Chain A
Amino acid sequence: MPLILSEEQEMLQDAANGFLAEKAPVSAFRKVRDNKPADGFCRELWSEMAEMGWAGIIVEEEHGGSGFGYVGAGVLAEQMGRNLTASPFFSTSVLGATAIQQYGTEKQKEENLAAISSGEKLYALAVDEGPRHNPSRIAFSAKPSGNGFTLSGAKTFVADGHVADKLIIAARTSGEQGDPQGITLFLVDANAPEITREYTPMVDSRNAANISIDGLEVTGDDILGELDGGYGALEGILSAGRAVLSAEMSGSAQQVFGVTTDYLKEREQFGQKIGSFQGLQHRAAHLATEIEMMKSAVLKSLKDLDADFDNAGMTCSLAKAKTGQVAQLATKEAIQMHGGIGVTDEYDVGLYFKRVHVAQQMFGDAGFHSDRWAKNSGF
């Protein structure tokens, strides 16, 4: 299969490009940031996105989605990365939808996928328990009690955790910390009284929450996937998340790079366009090459998810590693090459720098993923 977009996917890209430039450009994101609405994003915009079929982009048509798969989700995320569009797309339409579509029972699909696709319900995945991503160290406890389990513990940095209607929680039903066996995923109502959610504003002005749960009773019906065997499902959901986050970072990197080369062509110092200085040209040429590499890595991981979901984990890791590095380089260079204006709040490049930093940390940074991949490759 060729490593390019199909005609249909290109049309989706054009549509997303047009819609976001009009409804959700960077200036709209700034407004959300400055007005600090309780949700952290604009509900109206989210409904419009849902109407266009974006909320259910990976959900199959029989469950009310638009069936565009991960390449489709990546195409959207890339455009959102270009515009810094804030929405629950990632938490709900990528993580939530993947969890339920790939691992849910028929009943769970019936109950959730249409609600995701219509934009009616929001979802969040609660995995990490410390400042650095480390899914194998899950300690959050789910103790057998009666016919079900009692959940207790704390989760950090849950994207859109404070607004979600439902939470997917990775908990330990058996085994020791560090043991991949013994993890189970639970799908629970986020508004249960045993759940406390604390909104934690982040440097990128996106939404995250710390969540603590104290003695929430759940039953076997709330399990998503297999009892004790949830690590594989978690890996699958994370892989999809990593690939789509990479697509978003790729969009941000391409956008700031475009803005930077435009600036190099306009700005004059020493009586010349600064873009004529070789010291800047060579760095730009290096970065342009890295950006091409990043785009290939992202597209490959998305295509792998669509072609063979269960075996796409390693390419998703590789894409996240490559993209994290390149997007950070692109945003750092963007600031530096803009000179003083680059560090002002008024100018947009700093917003991309902040978002890329957070996206890079989320679900594993470049070091995490190259380590994971090296180990998987036997060294």
Chain B
Amino acid sequence: MSDLENFRTEVRAWLQENCPEEMRDGDITAENQCWGGRQWEFQSEAQKVWFERALAKGYTVPTWPKEYGGAGLSADEAKILDEERQAIDARKPLSNFGISMLGPALLAYGTHEQKAQHLTAIARGEIRWCQGYSEPGAGSDLASLKTKCEDKGDHWLINGQKIWTSNADISDWIFCLVRTDFDAPKHKGITFILMDMASEGISVKPIVLISGHSPFCETFFDNVKVPKSYGENNASVVGEVNRGWDVAKNLLVHERGMLGTMSPLRGTSGPESLGKYAAEKIGLDASGRLDDPALRQSIAQAELDNWAYNLTVERLTDEANAGNGLGAKSSMLKYAASELTKRGTELRMDIEGTTAATIGEDGIEYGSLANNWLYNRAYSILGGTTEVQFNIISKRVLGLPSQ
């Protein structure tokens, strides 16, 4: 048996033994995941047990080095772990922006001390991070951001505003893009900085979305003092001052990679297919076809596209592991995943008809189909709009000229 096959056998056995039944429910949603952080309370004993066992093994962040709390797995091993986890429908023991976004950026740009402090805390689920990129005047055109960061000798002084900061109200720290040079060309005066959300002068205000429920906030910085260093060699700035754009871009690739590898119609292919679900709700005609030909065609098309999409995630990951990095192709996955996600809930709404369009006395119920359907409109906007992904694909993948 090869090493990888041995590893698969081991992992399978470990998962069987350690992942509690309740954590294998197939229906993995934003609501039932474990997010961690100072304000986190486990939703069940099973969730806690699962988190703790995974942590002990380094499986909250399997590919990170052991010294920072990971398991030091190779890409091939990590893929096997993921496959085996999905084979039993197990949830991830921990998921948050620290794991999917900040961590990889710190691994690439952080000092040893920054990694030792922040990565370890992320791996252990102690600190929950939020992302302070967008501003009211800097959305797609992120590099025109204006939040001001001044050098005051022993500390930085920050004034300005961020918007759309997901979960700012329940996060512990924020990774932020600020302007340190207003005279330089716009990409050259940006710095990537880490701040404790408890710092004096930071305030947050929730934004209500069309879906009702809102994990999004406006974040205000009013004379916030950020120390230059959180300890020796542990700067608050990641990478060089005025060169934060490189870190920001690296992080966006991971963000798109993460958004692009979610399973958009999860639970809708295979035995629990959207088609079968529709067949139960609507019924079949005499020839065994869904009794609504137009809807049937749309569902079949969505499932077909979803199938090809999932295979593409697999293939591009295999290619990346074999040596050709994913690079700007992550924009393709981000675009495809967000469009499919929207189609998935649109189709469910159509299948359910007026039932799903009915809301409760207190408005749209959190976690309901209508809530997801409305919230999903944001997928092709957050993390860079579909149009912006198209611009990136045109230039970076296809090499088309600029005007």
Contact = CB atoms under 8 A, between A and B. Distances in A.
B381 interface: no
Given A4-B318, A264-B400, A321 B304 contact: yes
A296 B314 contact: yes
A275 B401 contact: yes
A88 B321 CA distance: 38
B393 A288 contact: yes
Contacts of A107: none
B301 A293 contact: no
Contacts of A379: 273, 275-276, 278-279, 284, 289-290, 296, 299-300
B400 A2 contact: no
Nearest to A299: B315
Contacts of B389: 285
Contacts, number: 126
B151 interface: no
Contact of A373 (B284, B304, B311): B304
Interface string A63-75: 0000000000000
Contacts of A264: 400
A295 B315 contact: yes
Interface string A1-35: 01110000000000000000000000000000000
Given A2-B318, A264-B400, A285-B389, A293 B289 contact: no
A191 interface: no
Interface in B364-403: 387, 389-391, 393-394, 397-403
A285 B279 contact: no
A374 B314 contact: no
B398 A288 contact: yes
Contacts of A277: 403
B167 to A, nearest CB: 29
A277 to B, nearest CB: 8
A276 B390 contact: no
A374 B299 contact: yes
B314 A3 contact: yes
A42 B403 CA distance: 47
A301 to B, nearest CB: 10
SS class, residues of chain B in contact with chain A:
helix
Contacts of A292: 312, 316, 329, 332
Given A3-B315, A282-B390, A378 B401 contact: no
Interface in A288-330: 288-289, 292-297, 299-300, 318, 321-322
B311 A297 contact: yes
Taking residues whose C-beta sits less than 8 angstroms from the other chain, chain A's interface range is 35 or more
A373 B300 contact: yes
A221 interface: no
Given A375-B288, A379-B289, A2 B322 contact: yes
A361 interface: no
B394 to A, nearest CB: 4
Of A285, A293, A296, A379, most buried by chain B (CB within 10 Å of CB) is A379
B64 interface: no
Given A272-B403, A292-B316, A285 B311 contact: no
A335 to B, nearest CB: 18
Contact of A293 (B303, B312, B390, B391): B312
A371 B307 CA distance: 15
A370 interface: yes
B239 to A, nearest CB: 29
Contacts of B403: 272, 276-277
B297 A370 contact: yes
A18 B184 CA distance: 50
Interface in B293-334: 296-297, 299-301, 303-305, 307-309, 311-312, 314-316, 318-319, 321-322, 329, 332
A297 B311 CA distance: 7
A293 B401 contact: no
Contacts of A321: 304
B94 to A, nearest CB: 27
B307 A297 contact: yes
Contacts of A3: 311, 314-315, 318
B336 interface: yes
B390 A286 contact: yes
A265 interface: yes
B393 A289 contact: yes
B173 interface: no
Given A285-B390, A318-B304, A261 B316 contact: no
B318 A265 contact: no
Interface string A233-246: 00000000000000
A257 to B, nearest CB: 9
Nearest to A372: B300
B394 A284 contact: yes
A281 B304 CA distance: 25
B314 A377 contact: no
23 contacts: A3-B314, A4-B318, A261-B398, A273-B400, A276-B402, A281-B391, A281-B400, A282-B387, A282-B394, A285-B391, A285-B393, A289-B393, A294-B308, A295-B312, A297-B307, A299-B311, A300-B311, A370-B297, A373-B304, A374-B275, A377-B303, A379-B299, A379-B300
- Those 8 A-B pairs whose CB atoms lie nearest each other, nearest first: A379-B275, A285-B393, A296-B311, A281-B394, A285-B390, A293-B308, A275-B400, A2-B318
Interface of B: 273, 275-276, 278-279, 284, 288-290, 296-297, 299-301, 303-305, 307-309, 311-312, 314-316, 318-319, 321-322, 329, 332, 335-336, 387, 389-391, 393-394, 397-403
